[in-house]
Structure 1
Amino acid sequence: MVSSRQAIMIVMAFTPFLLIYESDSASCSQIDCVGIPEFASSQKVNLSVYYESLNPTCANFIIKDLAEIFNKDLIDIVNLQLVPWANSHINKTNNSISCQNGTDECQLNSLESCVLNDFHDVNKYYALIFCFEFLAIEGRLKNLTNCFSQLGLPEKLTLDCYRRGNGTELGRKYINETAHLSPPHTFLPWVVVNNKPLGKDYANFTSYVCEAYNGIAKPAVCKSG
């Protein structure tokens, strides 16, 4: 498990990273970014993670293993898709949603769905969900909104989405997507690389991403070993 100090260091490290990312994006729109490798979107590898927000195994994967795509340069060749509500079910009688770990999990799934809907920058939505999942492991769900201020990100749009119940409606989409997995998931987290489920080897996703990537400019992590 990630220690409190490690988790806090990683979360707080995202704040200057987000500012640098936005600054670089702005400057590159005006001048040619010579020397920066370009990774065509069509060449990027799809990495999908199906999870439940209060599942300890999922939380540890998100804040420990998955963080490696940012600590290394793997994110440059990856389209990351996070899919909450993976073990939730829709009651066909009254159309309500039940979550494996109860009401608190449904609420956190809903909040994370709003984050994914409102923040389209992978650096931002991953940073927020990382922070949420770390606090969930710590048993500090009441402090979730602090993540926005810690990361310097606006909270109004996401909290309005959550309070209106839009996150639950988004959850129906995620539940439907999970239900159509082929083969069906048998445990969580269920990690898929370019439609290929990794099964029990999900923590080794880096090697699968590198193998699936067909671009010319490979990141350093794919060249090592």
Structure 2
Amino acid sequence: MITSLILALFVSFVSSKGCNLPPSAWCSSPEIAELCQVKDACKEYLYPDASAPKVNIDLHYESLCPYSINFILRQAERSYKEVGSIMNLKLYPFGNANIKTNPDGSITYKCQHGPLECQGNLVETCALNVLPESKGFLYVSCVSRQIMAKYPPYVAYLLCGKRLKIDVDKIFECSRSSKGMELQKAVAEKTNNLKPPKTYVPWIVVNGVHTEDLQNQAQTDLNALVCKTYTGSDKPEACKKSYSATFE
């Protein structure tokens, strides 16, 4: 009865072609709800678990590490586009680097792949903090793609700024400032306090947990891992493909 009363409000709206069913049937399936253009109104009845929390994916990586870049381009980029609605993806550009404050107050910052990687970590850390969330990952993935194509890092920063219509001067300003180093120290602290401790990169944490099995699943098919882990019923279309390809 309640369902019929709520849906009755939409009678005039759903008289479009294709929906010739009575209002009492509109919430009988996701397909019918979509056909009758009342998917949002029926959500409470069709998707009782739709408010489930997103899957948290933490990626600890290095800006010039080939393995890190491969994961960003082959897994994270696709998942961001296809299952981003049920995933919180957080990036931590630091990896096996080391930050040390010297007795005179100066800072020594060493990275596995040299000074350019230190610069890249700082630039990407600042980008993730300065840019809106909707553009932070896109900038990092764009830069990673240009680096994979053998562009020098600085050229990659500028090129991706132009492509995404981003003011890279603000990012550079941050990366050269004490604020940028403080942001990088926070990333370093997060990375260095991982449990279990990180032993390689990329290092992937799923809902606060890292295991070799989760790591392997993420690197094989991040979409499938996110879809399997998500407890809500409102899974994106990409989840159907992931399940059939990986878990059946």
TM-score class, shorter-chain normalisation, is 0.7 to 0.9
1 CA distance for matches of 2:64 and 2:129?
Answer: 20
2 CA distance for matches of 1:68 and 1:34?
Answer: 29
Which of 1 and 2 has greater Rg? Answer: 2
Q: Does the 8 Å CA contact 2:218/2:225 hold for their aligned counterparts?
A: no
What does the per-residue CA deviation read over 1:148-201, in whole Å, with 9 as the maximum and x for residues that have no partner? 111112223222212324322211111110111111122111111111222344
1 CA distance for matches of 2:55 and 2:216?
Answer: 20
Is the partner of 1:214 in helix, strand or coil? coil
What does residue 18 of structure 1 align with?
none
What does the per-residue CA deviation read over 1:48-72, in whole Å, with 9 as the maximum and x for residues that have no partner? 1100001011011112221111442
Instruction: Measure how far apart 1:202 and its partner are.
Output: 2.9
2 CA distance for matches of 1:160 and 1:92?
Answer: 21
Is the partner of 1:46 in helix, strand or coil? strand
Letter in 1 for 2:114: G
1:90 pairs with 2:99: yes
Aligned residues: 190
Q: Does the 8 Å CA contact 1:52/1:85 hold for their aligned counterparts?
A: yes
Pick which of 105-114 and 204-213 moved more: 204-213
2 CA distance for matches of 1:142 and 1:44?
Answer: 34
Is the partner of 1:48 in helix, strand or coil? strand
2 CA distance for matches of 1:92 and 1:111?
Answer: 20
* 1:115 aligned to which of 127, 136, 141: 127
Relative contact order, CA 8 A, sep 6+: which one is greater?
A: 1
2 CA distance for matches of 1:97 and 1:70?
Answer: 31
* 2:202 aligned to which of 189, 198, 202: 189
1 CA distance for matches of 2:117 and 2:172?
Answer: 16
Could you tell me which runs of 5 or more consecutive residues in structure 1 were left unpaired when the two chains were aligned: 1-32
Letter in 1 for 2:138: A
1:209 pairs with 2:244: no
* 2:59 aligned to which of 36, 49, 74: 49
Residue 161 to residue 187, structure 1, CA distance change in 2 (3 Å): same
What does residue 67 of structure 1 align with?
77
Letter in 1 for 2:239: C
For 1:1-225, what aligned pairs fall within 5 Å after superposition? 35=39, 40=51, 43-72=53-82, 74-91=83-100, 93-94=102-103, 95-121=107-133, 123-137=134-148, 138-143=150-155, 144-197=157-210, 198-203=214-219, 204-224=221-241, 225=244
Deviating runs (4+, > 6 A) in structure 1?
36-39
Q: Does the 8 Å CA contact 1:86/1:174 hold for their aligned counterparts?
A: no
Instruction: Measure how far apart 1:222 and its partner are.
Output: 2.1
Q: Does the 8 Å CA contact 2:217/2:225 hold for their aligned counterparts?
A: no
- TM-score scaled to structure 1, two decimals? 0.76
2 CA distance for matches of 1:135 and 1:223?
Answer: 31
- TM-score scaled to structure 2, two decimals? 0.69
Percent of aligned positions that are identical: 31
2 CA distance for matches of 1:51 and 1:223?
Answer: 29
Letter in 2 for 1:205: L
Could you tell me which runs of 5 or more consecutive residues in structure 2 were left unpaired when the two chains were aligned: 1-36
Letter in 2 for 1:53: S
